[in-house]
């Protein structure tokens, strides 16, 4: 008996990969990407999976993406979940790592592959990286036991909530600074990390998002602390403080008092390092200790994209506000779906 050909759902949200040259420059043109794909024989070979393209309207540049779009993509995957073997999300590269992270927290016990990909040069152009990225994403979604959200780019499948866009020009646009790739794709497809969980047919749970006031405040030498005070006095749900090194901040009463007051008001304060590699350790220096004393919780070695989307998803849960705040503070420091390296 021959194995049935797999069927992959492509959620095409926009981005460079599907753009066409128009009189106004590159822009997404309705129907163009699918037409192009169907004309390329390698995408329709018998040993490739079948695919269905769902083109979003309007097609978006990913700089325009908001949490409402994460919700739309997650709901779309869920609505089609039982009918397909895997999902590929075509997305602009600029905020791809945010969407991949958000999807991982919104669909926390996924049992099928979801692979987010795109390209730096449109698929229709010479030397496009879109061809390789999409072909591999489809192939992996059909053939590898990936029960989580991955991000495929330039010969690597990265864990979605570990990836960051780190190169605006090169084909190797994404890195995963604190976690091995899931797969390296060369002559062979080499698994590098053990699977997060086995594939399973059950419908995953869905954690929707709602609008949340989250700020990101970057520390730098010379920051006027009255500016930080103004930020922290806003009606915030959460604030990510981008600190120095292993999670340190200047020990200035004006800053520390403003943080403490925000914490006491119920704002979830998260300490995230500005360093791409390594993570926060508030037990090391006095500058870190002081932040722990003000109520900050640690982002560990999460990317900014994972920290922000995780905070947003956790704060979007429904229930008694005090309980949501307390459990968000606890869960930010725990690995929910591989997004951080446990330190104890
Ligand atoms: N600005 C585009 C986007 O993120 C860039 C890309 O797709 O590579 O949608």
CA of 63 to the centre of ligand 1 (A): 7
The residue out of 191, 223, 239 marking a domain boundary is 191
CA 98 to chain centre: 4
pLDDT band at 2 (very low <50, low <70, confident <90, very high): low
pLDDT in tens, 54-79: 999 999 999 999 999 999 999 999 99
For residue 103, what pLDDT is reported?
A: 98
Q: What is the CATH number of the domain that holds 61?
A: 3.40.50.1170
Residue 197: HSE in the Cβ half-sphere, 13 Å Cα cutoff: 17
**What is the domain count for the chain?**
2
CA of 336 to the centre of ligand 1 (A): 28
For residue 214, what pLDDT is reported?
A: 98
**337 lies in a domain?**
no
Residue among 268, 216, 212 nearest 243 (CA): 216
Give the lowest-confidence range in 165-179, 233-247, 281-295, 325-339. Answer: 281-295
Q: Which residues of 209-247 are buried (b: 16+ CB within 10 A; e: fewer)?
A: beebebeebeeeeeeeeeebbeebeeebbbbbbbbbebb
Burial of 20 (C-beta count, 10 Å sphere; 0-12/13-18/19+) = middle
**251 lies in a domain?**
yes
> Does 178 lie in the same domain as 32?
yes
Is the model's pLDDT at 123 over the cut of 80? Answer: yes
Mean pLDDT of the chain: 95
pLDDT band at 222 (very low <50, low <70, confident <90, very high): very high
Residue to mutate (ligand 1; options 12, 17, 19, 92; most atoms within 8 A of CB): 92
> Does 120 lie in the same domain as 75?
yes
pLDDT in tens, 154-198: 999 999 999 999 999 999 999 999 999 999 998 888 888 888 889
Percent of the chain surpassing pLDDT 70? 99
Q: What is the CATH number of the domain that holds 256?
A: 3.40.50.40
Residue among 237, 258, 266, 339 nearest 298 (CA): 339
> Does 234 lie in the same domain as 130?
no
> Does 159 lie in the same domain as 57?
yes
Could you list the residue range(s) of the whole structural domain that residue 324 is in? Answer: 214-331
CA of 92 to the centre of ligand 1 (A): 4
> Does 225 lie in the same domain as 152?
no
**β-strand partners of 185:** 189
**344 lies in a domain?**
no
**207 lies in a domain?**
no
Is the model's pLDDT at 27 over the cut of 90? Answer: no
Ligand 1 neighbour 120 (Cβ under 6 A): yes
> Does 256 lie in the same domain as 147?
no
> Does 44 lie in the same domain as 121?
yes
> Does 150 lie in the same domain as 266?
no
């Amino acid at each position: 008996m021959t194995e049935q050909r797999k069927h992959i759902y492509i959620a095409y949200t926009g981005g460079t990969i599907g753009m066409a040259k128009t009189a106004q420059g590159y822009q997404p043109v309705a129907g163009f990407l699918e037409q192009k794909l169907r004309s390329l024989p390698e995408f329709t070979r018998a040993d490739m999976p079948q695919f269905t393209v769902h083109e979003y309207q309007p097609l978006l540049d990913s700089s325009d993406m908001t949490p409402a779009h994460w919700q739309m993509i997650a709901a779309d995957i869920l609505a089609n979940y039982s009918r397909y073997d895997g999902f590929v999300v075509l997305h602009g590269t600029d905020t791809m790592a945010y969407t991949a992270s958000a999807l991982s927290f919104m669909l926390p016990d996924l049992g099928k592959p979801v692979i987010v990909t795109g390209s730096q040069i449109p698929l229709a152009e010479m030397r496009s990286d879109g061809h390789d990225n999409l072909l591999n994403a489809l192939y992996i979604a059909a053939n590898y036991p990936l029960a989580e959200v991955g991000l495929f780019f330039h010969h690597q499948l990265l864990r979605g909530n570990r990836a960051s866009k780190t190169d605006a020009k090169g084909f190797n646009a994404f890195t995963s600074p604190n976690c091995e790739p899931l797969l390296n794709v060369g002559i062979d497809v080499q698994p590098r990390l053990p699977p997060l969980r086995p594939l399973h047919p059950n419908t995953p749970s869905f954690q929707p998002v709602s609008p949340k006031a989250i700020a990101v405040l970057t520390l730098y030498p010379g920051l006027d602390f009255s500016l930080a005070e103004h930020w922290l006095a806003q009606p915030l749900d959460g604030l990510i403080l981008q600190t120095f090194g292993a999670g340190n901040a200047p020990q200035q009463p004006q800053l520390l008092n403003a943080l403490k007051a925000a914490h006491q008001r119920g704002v979830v304060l998260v300490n995230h390092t500005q360093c791409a590699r390594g993570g926060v350790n508030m037990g090391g220096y006095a500058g870190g200790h002081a932040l722990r004393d003000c109520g900050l919780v640690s982002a560990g070695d999460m990317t900014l994209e994972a920290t922000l989307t995780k905070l947003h998803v956790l704060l979007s849960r429904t229930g008694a506000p005090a309980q949501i705040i307390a459990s968000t503070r606890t869960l930010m420091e725990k690995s929910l779906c591989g997004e951080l390296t446990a330190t104890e």
